[in-house]
């Protein structure tokens, strides 16, 4: 049976959609310079990583998350937590890349995001195969069954139906926030993996919003809204007369979840609008459109040229925590893309300069 979500656009949902659009439009016209945008975006990514992993029980503080990602610091006894935040951060970068280069989301895209979530910070990984057995979600305190997902044999077809729906006319006709809300709910309902389902659902949500023009320049974190009151988050997702997928969950009315999701977007978007307006109280020109043409690593790489006209492979190694070979490969790709040019061809200490067309992005 094709995936056909049931919900009603209530007055509260319609009001939320209007407020989301108002906040989105307001931010579009704020003057955002590269330095300000880079600062705000990095903060948003760290918040998203911290709160999304915290929802799943990660014990690292916000400050420690920043230290693990930025300085690769280690905290004894927290190795699993470190791998989780590195994995989620890498997957967030992949979301930006997919949003830039993909028009439609595929099963492989979703499987790749899950693979990154579980890979502990590896930049490349194979798409994750779906679970091959049952995965029962239990109450950690009582041991009682909270949710019994569909059987493993049904997961491949259900995921195909979800991605087919995302690519179809029905989904395209919906406002982007509702499309993202439905996808989040259905992915969590299918629960296609033994672990990492919640994190992957939230990444899928972010990808859909970015592709649909609701990226808000990458400055928001819905994860923070969920984490503030986990009880509300799980209650909104827990829909249907039974904990068993086959007893009503698949055909349940998800209006309540759609409302919760849209009100979370209102909270996040309006917060970003206020913070960005305060931070960008300047007459500097908005250069975010030019920044969008760069991939995530190129945007981050702009920081290398803020205080120096030229950089070397060692600078790239340090910024991205790469091996010498990987840094050189990245620089070669940047030269090919026209992002940088070779300033000094010396083999031992080759130097690179930012291409002239991108130098304006360093102002502000």
**SS in 3 state form for 199-211?**
HHHHHHHHHHHHH
Q: Which residue did the predictor score with more confidence, 208 or 356? A: 208
**What's the CATH class of domain 294-362?**
mainly alpha
What is the pLDDT at residue 274? 80
Torsion of CA 292, 293, 296, 300, to 10 degrees: -90
Supply the pTM of this predicted model: 0.79
The token duo for 41 is 């975006």
pLDDT at 266: 95
Of 43 and 293, more confident: 43
pLDDT at 33: 65
Q: Which residues belong to CATH 1.10.10.10 in the chain?
A: 294-362
Tens-place pLDDT, residues 86-137:
999 999 989 988 988 878 999 999 999 999 999 988 777 899 999 999 998 8
Q: Report pLDDT digits (tens) over 336-354.
A: 988 999 988 877 788 999 9
The end-to-end CA distance of the chain, in Å, is: 54
- pLDDT tens digits for 239-271? 877 788 988 887 889 999 999 999 999 999 898
**Inter-CA distances, 251 with 149, 322, 336, Å:** 14, 47, 50
320's CB contacts (< 8 A; 6+ apart) are 297, 300, 327, 330
- Taking the C-alpha atoms of residue 80 and residue 58, their distance in angstroms, rounded to an integer, is 8
**pLDDT of 25 over the 70 cut:** yes
Q: By C-alpha distance, which of 223, 217, 210 is closest to 299?
A: 217
Decide: 232 and 124 in contact? Cβ < 8 Å.
no
Average pLDDT for the chain: 87
If we measure between CA atoms, which residue out of 355, 321, 341, 350 comes closest to residue 86?
321
CATH superfamily placement of domain 11-279: Fido-like domain (1.10.3290.10)
CA distances from 336 to 177, 263, 330, 339, 361 (A): 37, 44, 10, 8, 20
């Amino acid at each position: 049976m094709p995936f056909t979500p049931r919900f009603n656009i209530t007055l509260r949902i319609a009001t939320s959609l209007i407020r989301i659009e108002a906040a989105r439009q307001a931010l579009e016209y704020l003057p955002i310079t590269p330095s300000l945008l880079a600062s705000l975006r990095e903060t948003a990514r760290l918040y998203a990583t911290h709160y999304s992993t915290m929802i799943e029980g990660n014990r690292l503080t916000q400050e420690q998350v920043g230290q693990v990602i930025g300085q690769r610091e280690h905290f004894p006894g927290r190795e699993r937590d470190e791998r989780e935040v590195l994995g989620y951060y890498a997957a967030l970068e992949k979301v930006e890349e997919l949003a830039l280069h993909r028009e439609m989301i595929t099963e492989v895209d979703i499987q790749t995001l899950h693979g990154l979530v579980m890979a502990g910070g590896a930049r490349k990984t194979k798409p994750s195969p779906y679970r091959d057995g049952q995965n029962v979600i239990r109450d950690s305190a009582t041991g009682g069954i909270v949710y019994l997902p569909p059987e493993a044999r049904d997961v491949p077809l259900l995921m195909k139906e979800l991605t087919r729906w995302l690519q179809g006319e029905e989904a395209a006709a919906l406002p982007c926030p509702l499309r993202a809300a439905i996808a989040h709910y259905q992915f969590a309902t299918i629960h296609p993996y033994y672990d990492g389902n919640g994190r992957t659902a939230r990444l899928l949500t972010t990808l859909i919003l970015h592709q649909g023009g609701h990226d808000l320049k990458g400055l928001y974190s819905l994860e923070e809204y969920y984490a503030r009151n986990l009880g509300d988050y799980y209650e909104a997702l827990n829909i249907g007369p039974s904990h068993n997928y086959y007893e009503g969950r698949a055909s349940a009315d998800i209006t309540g979840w759609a409302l919760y999701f849209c009100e979370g977007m209102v909270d996040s978007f309006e917060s970003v609008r206020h913070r960005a307006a305060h931070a960008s109280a300047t007459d500097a020109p908005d250069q975010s459109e030019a920044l969008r043409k760069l991939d995530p690593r190129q945007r981050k790489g702009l920081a290398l040229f803020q205080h120096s006209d030229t950089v070397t492979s060692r600078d790239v190694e340090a910024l991205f925590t790469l091996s010498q070979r990987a840094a050189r490969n990245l620089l070669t790709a940047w030269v090919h893309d026209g992002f940088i040019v070779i300033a000094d061809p010396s083999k031992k200490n080759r130097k690179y300069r930012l291409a002239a067309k991108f130098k304006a992005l360093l102002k502000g």
